[in-house]
Structure 1
Amino acid sequence: MEDLSGAPLSALSCETKELISTLLNPKRFIPTQNGLSRDWKGLAHVCKIDQETMRNIYHDADPTGRVLSISQNKLKDFNLQHLKEALEKIERWDVIDDTKELMEKDAKSYLERLQKSQNTAELNDKDVDSKILTIDDLILMEQGQDTQHYDAFVLYAQEDTEFANEVVQNLENENNMKLCLKERDLIAGVSFEYEAILRLILERCNRLILILSPDFFKSPANEFFLNCAQAAGINKKPERKIIPCIYKTCELPPQLQYFSKIYYNKLSPHLFWERLLHSIKVVNGTTMKVKQNNRTESKLSETKRQGLNTFFKKSVEKQLKDMPKGSDSKKSHLEISPAYKEAEPQKTPVKESVSESTLELPSLDGLSTLPSHSSVEYKQKDRKKDKIGKSYIKKFQTLIEKF
C-alpha cells in the first residue's frame, strides 16, 4: 500500500477530485454519531473552514471541489492521509473505498516526479553549444577538448551514395583519414543547416571532395556549397581546397573547367584511389621549416669544414717550405694526429706541387711538435724560422677556436 502522508493535497488528479465531488456534493440528512454532516459540509467542518466562507460555498456549483481548494491553500501540511482521516470522521467509508486506488496512484506519481526533480538537467552553455556542429564535436567537448577537424568534406548527390560510401571506406578504414558527411556527422537540431555545412567546409575541413555526376548538378544545394567554397578560396590565399572527382561523365560548369580533376575508371580504380589519397594529404609547414633549418645548418658546418681543410693545406705548404731540404723528412714529419682524423670527414688531397704523393694534413699538436731531422743541424737562420713558425701556429690555434 502506498504511503499517502508523503503526498500533499495538490497531488490529487482531476479524475480523483471529480469522483470525490460526485460522492460528497449530494446532501445527506442523517448525521454521524458526533453530529457531523456526512456530505461536503462535514468535510468543510473537519477542515476548519469558517462560517462566513461556508455561506459563500453554498452557492458554488461544486462545493466539495471548493472545500478541497481552500484546504490546499490554507492548510499547507494537509496531505492525502489527512483527507482519508477526514472522510473517516464523517463516516464516508464508501468514498474511501471508491477512491482508494486512485489516491494511491496519485501519491505514487507525485513521489516519482519528486524523485526525478532531484536530478536537475545541466544549464546549456550557449557559447559552447554554438560550436557543436557534428557528433564528433559533442564527444570531444564533453572530454574537455576542442572541436573536431576533418581531412575533407565529401559532397555528392543522393543517387551516388553507394560510391560515396566506397570513398569513405577506402579513405577512413584503409588510410586512417577523417571525413565529414552531412547525413552521417551533422548533429540534429542545428539551425540554418546550410550555414553549419559552410562553416564545416570552410573552417573545419582541409579539402572539399566533389563526387561529380549528372545528378550532382541537379541539386541547388550542391551548386551553392561549390560556389561558396570557390569564392572563399579566391578571397583567401591560393590553396587546393576543391578536389573534383569525375565519377560519371557530365558537363562541368565554367568554375570547374580549369581545375585539375581525377577520373574514376572501374577497370583500373587503383590509380584513382592513389591520386585521391595523395591529393588530400596535407604537408605540415612547421615540419618543412625544421627540415630547411637542418639543411642550412648542415651546409654551414660543411662550409666551415672545407674552410678549415683549405687553411690546413696552406699552413702545411708554408711549413714544408720552411723545413730543411730532404726527400724523406717531409713525408716522415707530416703524420696526421688521431684527434684530427676523427674530426675530419674525409681526407683532402693536396696539390702535386707540395708533394708527389697525396699529402695528409697534420693536427695542430703535430704541427707544433714537428721533430727535427737527425742529420740536419739548424743554423741561426733556421732557429729564427722555427721561432716564427711557432708564433704563427699559436695564432692559427686561436683562430681555429673561433670556429
Structure 2
Amino acid sequence: MQRRVVITGVGVVSSLGIGADRFWQSIKSGKCGISVVERIDVSDLPTKVGSEIKDFSPSDFIDKKEVKRMDKFSQYAIAAAQLAVENSKLDINKVNNERMGVIIGSGIGGIETLENQYSVLLEKGPGRVSPFFVPMMIPNMASGNVGIKFGAKGFTECVVTACASSTNSIGDAFKVIQRGDADVMISGGTEAPITRLTYAGFCASKTMSTDEDPLTCCKPFDLNRNGFIMGEGAGILILEEYHHAVNRGADIIAEIVGYGCTNDAYHITAPAEGGEGGARCMRLAIEDAGIKPSDIGYINAHGTSTQLNDKNETAAIKSVFGEHAYKLAVSSTKSMTGHLLGGAGAIEAIITALSLKEGFLPPTINYKTPDPQCDLDYVPNIGRKADITYALSNSFGFGGHNATLTLKAFKE
C-alpha cells in the first residue's frame, strides 16, 4: 500500500506578504501585488512593472555575514523554509535528519549575482570576481542552503524545468515520501529574476506585458491580455508521511494524492497546439490519484496572461474534462502575484492547499472582456466559497515542460 503524503506547513515570501497568513488574506481579498519596479532602472524598457518585494529583510532570517554570500533567490528560499517549518510546528531536533530531504526548484537561480559579477569582471578584472560567485549563482544552492540550515541529510536535489520547476519539485518530493525514501521533505521553489538582464531578455522575446498600470496590467484569460508580469519570491511546503504527521499531532492542511509530468516535445517556448502536453499531464495527475476527471472541482491554472498559454490551457482543460470543464472553477492567481517563474508553482500549490482547507476559491482579478476561446468559469474578480474535495495545480515551462499536482481536502 502506498504511503500517504500530507502538507503540514507552508511558508511564503512574496509581494503580497511575508508569511502564509498575510499572503493568503491578500489572495482571498483579490489584492494585487504588482507595482512599478524600483530596484532596477526600467526607464528604457517596454515593461516597467513587476511583483517586486518591497519589505523583505534577509537579516530577519539569515546571519548578516551569510547574507552577503547568498543571492536573493537563496535568501528567499531560506526565509520561506523557516516560515514553513514554524507554520508546521515541526521540531527539527526530533526528526530523523537522514529521513528528511529538500527539493527546491529555481528556473534561473542566481541571475543577479551573475549579472553583478560579470560587471566586476569587465570593469575591475578577473582578480576582483568574488570567490563566492559560483556557490551564489548555481540554482541548487537554494536546496543546499536550506539543507544546511535545517540539517536535512536525506534525499536532496534541485529541479530546473523553467516555470514548471517548483511543481516538479513538489511532485518529486511527494514521490520520494510515497515510495518510502523519506518521512519529511522541505519542498517548493524560489526565484529572484528582477534584474536588468532578465527584463531585457523577456522584453526582447515580447512575452511580458507593456501595460503600465500595475493594478490592471495582468489579466489572464481576458481578451485584451498582452503578456505576463515578472514576479519574485519563494514558496515552501513541508510534506510529511501521514503517520509521521499524525503521531506528532500536526495540523494537516491538505493531502497530495497525484502528480503528472510530461513534455510537449514541440517548441522551445510555445505550448503545443491545443495544449496537448498539458492535457496529458493533467490526465496523468488524475490517474495517479486514482480518481475520475469529474471529481476535480477546482484548477489553479498556469494562467500566465499570454495569448498562447491561456487559450491552449483552456483547450487542454476542455480536452481532459469534456462537459465537466464548464462545471469547474478555474482561476489564475498570477493576476495577483505576477509570475514567479520557477517559484510560481510552489506558491500556487500553497494557494490550492489553503483553498481546499478553507473551502474558498481565489479569484482571477482584472477579468473584464471575455475571450471566445477562453470560455470557462475563471472565478472573475471576486473569490467565493465552495465545498471541493479535489483540485489541480498546473505549471508549464519553456522547453515544453508540464507539471500538475492533484491535491485533496484532508480527511482522516
TM-score tier by shorter-chain length is under 0.3
Normalised by the length of structure 1, the TM-score is 0.19
Q: Which is bigger in relative contact order (C-alpha 8 A, separation at least 6)?
A: 2
Higher strand share: 2
Higher helix share: 1
